[in-house]
C-alpha cells in the first residue's frame, strides 16, 4: 500500500521476465502485465488492493517490458503475434474498447516512454523509435 502497512500480493508474475507494473496518472489504479501467451493487462484500484478487485483490461500475448498509461489509454508491446513484427498497442484503461494497433517494429524490445503525442520504443540494436499515440 502507498501509505505503508501490510504488503498485498495481487498476482504472481515471477515466471514472467517481461512483466511490467505502473501506477495510474491520477493515482487511482495500478496496472500490470503478465508475460506469456494468453497473458493479460490487468488493473486494481489502489483503494482496494486485493485479488477480489482485480479488473481485466486486455488479453496480451507475451508482453515486452514497458507499460505506460496516460489519462485515457494503456500502451504496451507484444513480443509475438499473428501480425508481422512486434506490435505496439493502446487500449482504454478501463478495458471498454478493443486494443488498437499503433505500429509494428521489427526487432522491437521494450517500450521506454510516452509523452503527449508519442510512444517511444527501443529495439535490440538500442535504436529508439517514436510512434504516434493515435492509430
pLDDT in tens, 62-86: 787 889 999 999 999 887 655 567 8
What does the chain come to in residues?
Answer: 135
Q: At 118, is the pLDDT very low, low, confident or very high (cuts 50, 70, 90)?
A: very high
Residue (of 28, 73, 32, 31) closest to 48 by Cα position: 28
Specify whether the CB–CB gap between 90 and 75 falls below 8 A.
yes
End-to-end CA distance of the chain: 35
Place of cell 498509461: 69
The pLDDT of residue 133 is above 70 = yes
- DSSP structural state of residue 126: -
Q: Kindly report, residue by residue over 96-108, the tens digit of the pLDDT.
A: 999 999 998 877 6
Residue written as cell 517490458?
65
C-alpha dist (Å) from residue 53 to 49, 66, 70: 7, 23, 21
Amino acid at each position: 500500500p502507498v501509505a505503508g502497512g501490510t504488503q498485498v500480493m495481487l498476482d504472481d508474475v515471477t515466471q514472467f521476465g517481461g512483466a511490467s507494473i505502473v501506477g495510474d496518472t491520477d493515482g487511482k489504479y495500478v496496472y500490470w502485465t503478465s508475460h506469456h501467451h494468453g497473458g493479460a493487462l490487468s488493473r486494481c484500484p489502489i483503494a482496494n488492493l486485493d485479488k477480489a478487485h482485480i479488473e481485466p483490461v486486455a488479453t496480451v500475448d507475451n508482453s515486452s517490458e514497458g507499460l505506460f498509461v496516460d489519462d485515457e489509454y494503456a500502451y504496451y508491446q507484444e513480443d509475438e503475434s499473428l501480425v508481422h513484427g512486434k506490435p505496439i498497442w493502446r487500449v482504454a484503461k478501463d478495458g471498454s474498447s478493443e486494443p488498437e494497433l499503433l505500429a509494428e517494429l521489427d526487432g522491437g524490445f521494450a517500450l521506454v516512454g510516452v509523452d503527449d503525442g508519442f510512444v517511444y520504443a527501443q529495439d535490440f540494436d538500442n535504436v529508439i523509435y517514436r510512434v504516434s499515440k493515435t492509430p
